[in-house]
């Protein structure tokens, strides 16, 4: 398992960022940074050698779906694994995220086991060692 992977956790609620960060730490990851919306996250991603993006959808400023599209449109970030972690539960939204190139979609409220399972699945699909 590669515990050196660098994560960016994007959510406008600091409580949720803390929860995700703690779950990742319990899974053994220690390189975790945070951003409170897409607008803050994008320059961090462009500058920061991140290996994985976990983002909310509903945020002021730049929403998660727009961040996902911006990542996919950016040559240097296009292949970054993106997991959406959101309360947005409409079928058309999930399809929209899939079409925009999301690698995983976890609905809030979630369990630590679900988050781990989805991360592992993405690592496996992309041939990464998580």
Partner 1 sequence: MSKETASQAIDASRYDAELAELVAAWNARDERRFVAQLDALAATHDHMLLKNVGELTRGIETALERFCVDARVEDLSRKEVPDARVSLEHVLKLTDEAAHRTMDLVEQSHVPAESILQGVNHVLPNWQQWREGELSEEQRVALLGEMSGFLAAAHENAERIRANLSEVLLAQGYQDLSGQIIRSVMNLIDEIQEALAGMVALSRGQEVIYRAREPVPNGACGPQVPGVAKGQAVGGQDEVDLLLSGLNL
Distance set, CA 69 to CA 20, 61, 75, 99, 117 (Å)? 22, 15, 12, 10, 24
User: Using CA atoms, how far apart are residues 123 and 130, in angstroms rounded to an integer?
Assistant: 6
114 touching partner 1, by CB under 8 A: yes
| b/e burial code for range 36-52 (CB count within 10 A of at least 16 → b) | bbbbbbbeebeeeebbb
Q: How far is the CB of 47 from partner 1 (least distance, A)?
A: 25
Tokens for 100, please give them.
Answer: 């925009």
Q: For the window 37-76, what string marks contact with partner 1 as x by the rule CB under 8 A?
A: --------------------xx----x-xx----------
Q: How far is the CB of 74 from partner 1 (least distance, A)?
A: 18
- Let me know: does 37 contact 59? Beta carbons within 8 Å: yes
Q: Which of residues 11, 42, 53, 71 is near partner 1 by CB under 8 A?
A: 11
Q: Which of residues 1, 2, 3, 26 is near partner 1 by CB under 8 A?
A: 26
96 CA to centre of own chain: 16
Q: Which of residues 1, 2, 3, 13 is near partner 1 by CB under 8 A?
A: 13
- Site for partner 1, rule CB under 8 A: 11, 13, 15-16, 18-19, 22-23, 26, 57-58, 63, 65-66, 87-96, 98, 102-112, 114
């Amino acid at each position: 398992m590669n515990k050196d992977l660098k994560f960016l956790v994007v959510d406008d609620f600091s409580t949720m960022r803390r929860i995700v960060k703690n779950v990742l730490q319990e899974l053994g990851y220690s390189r975790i940074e945070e951003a409170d919306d897409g607008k803050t996250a994008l320059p961090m991603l462009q500058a920061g050698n991140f290996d994985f993006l976990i983002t909310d959808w509903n945020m002021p400023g730049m929403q998660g779906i727009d961040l996902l599209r911006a990542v996919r449109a950016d040559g240097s970030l296009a292949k970054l694994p993106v997991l959406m972690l959101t309360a947005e539960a409409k079928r058309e939204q999930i399809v929209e995220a899939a079409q925009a190139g999301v690698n995983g979609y976890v609905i809030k409220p979630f369990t630590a086991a679900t988050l781990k399972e989805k991360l592992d699945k993405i690592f496996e699909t992309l041939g990464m060692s998580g």
